[in-house]
Amino acid sequence: MLALVGSGEYLQPMQAVDRYLMHSLGEPARVICLPTAAGTEGEERIKYWSNLGVEYFEGLGAERVEAVHVVDRASADDPALAERIRAANFIYLSGGKPDYLLHTLINTRAMEAILDVYRFGGILAGCSAGAMVMGESIPGLLRWREAFKLFPNAVIIPHYDEMPGWLGRLVRLLARRKTTLYGIEGYTALLVNGNGLKVIGRGSVTVWARSGKVMLRAT
């Protein structure tokens, strides 16, 4: 299952969402928090996100929680760190810079470990930048970058409730016609399980497709 979060990772309003995800595993949660997207922000911020994630999931009763220091290409290709990731069943990519996150993880041992967890039934959650890299591409003013395509033909726009209306419409106009745009509001997660979609959390998800716009709300 993919869990694509608009904003609010490791904060109290997301507790019900993450308890739901942990329960859906059907076994004790073994969580890996990856602060990779914040890798350019300095050690203090990396430590902040790492500690926040560990304390948060410990408070939710996870069996094991660890923040793995994958913050650049060298650490992303470290076989020892990749094995620690592979031992998890719940991986969380916190926010930061989507382009940096994509560049750091692509074609590395860490990414292969992440995909192994996902392929064998684990949860792969991403917030903000961590959600954007799961889709077909990452939007940009000059060019769109191919992302990990775990959610094919999708473009993920986090913080959707914070965006001016005109900006969301502009992004949609710039999107390739074969793609569908998913605008995810804060404290909200879009769960992607095969062909099934489910919204949980405080807000909603706006879906812009060729057929028009629809809004998905929590059920």
> How does pLDDT run across 27-70, given as a tens digit for each residue?
999 999 999 999 999 999 999 999 999 999 999 999 999 999 99
pLDDT tens across 101-121, in order? 999 999 999 999 999 999 999
The residue behind tokens 């969380």 is 92
Q: What pLDDT, on the 0 to 100 scale, is given for residue 173?
A: 64
Residue 197 in this model has a pLDDT that exceeds 90: yes
Domains of the chain by residue range: 2-217
Beta bridge partners of 126: 4, 93
Q: What pLDDT, on the 0 to 100 scale, is given for residue 176?
A: 57
User: Mean of the pLDDT values across residues 112-138?
Assistant: 97
Cα–Cα dist 200/147, whole Å: 24
- What's the pTM? 0.94
- By C-alpha distance, which of 194, 180, 190, 216 is closest to 6? 190
Q: Which residues contact 2 (CB under 8 A, 6 or more apart)?
A: 118, 123, 124, 125, 126, 134, 150, 151, 191, 192, 193
* In the chain, % of residues over pLDDT 70: 93
User: Mean of the pLDDT values across residues 141-169?
Assistant: 83
Q: Which amino acid is at 113?
A: A
Residue 12 in this model has a pLDDT that exceeds 90: yes
Beta strands across the sheet bearing 212-217: 154-157, 180-184, 204-209, 212-217
- By C-alpha distance, which of 159, 164, 158, 138 is closest to 149? 138
Cα–Cα dist 32/93, whole Å: 9
For 2-217, the fitting CATH number among 3.40.50.170, 3.90.1200.10, 3.40.1670.10, 3.40.50.880 is 3.40.50.880
191 phi/psi in degrees, rounded to 5: -95, 130
Cα–Cα dist 172/36, whole Å: 28
Cα–Cα dist 47/15, whole Å: 21
Based on DSSP, count helices (H) and strands (E) in the chain, helices before strands.
8, 13
Q: What pLDDT, on the 0 to 100 scale, is given for residue 139?
A: 79
**What length does the chain have?**
219
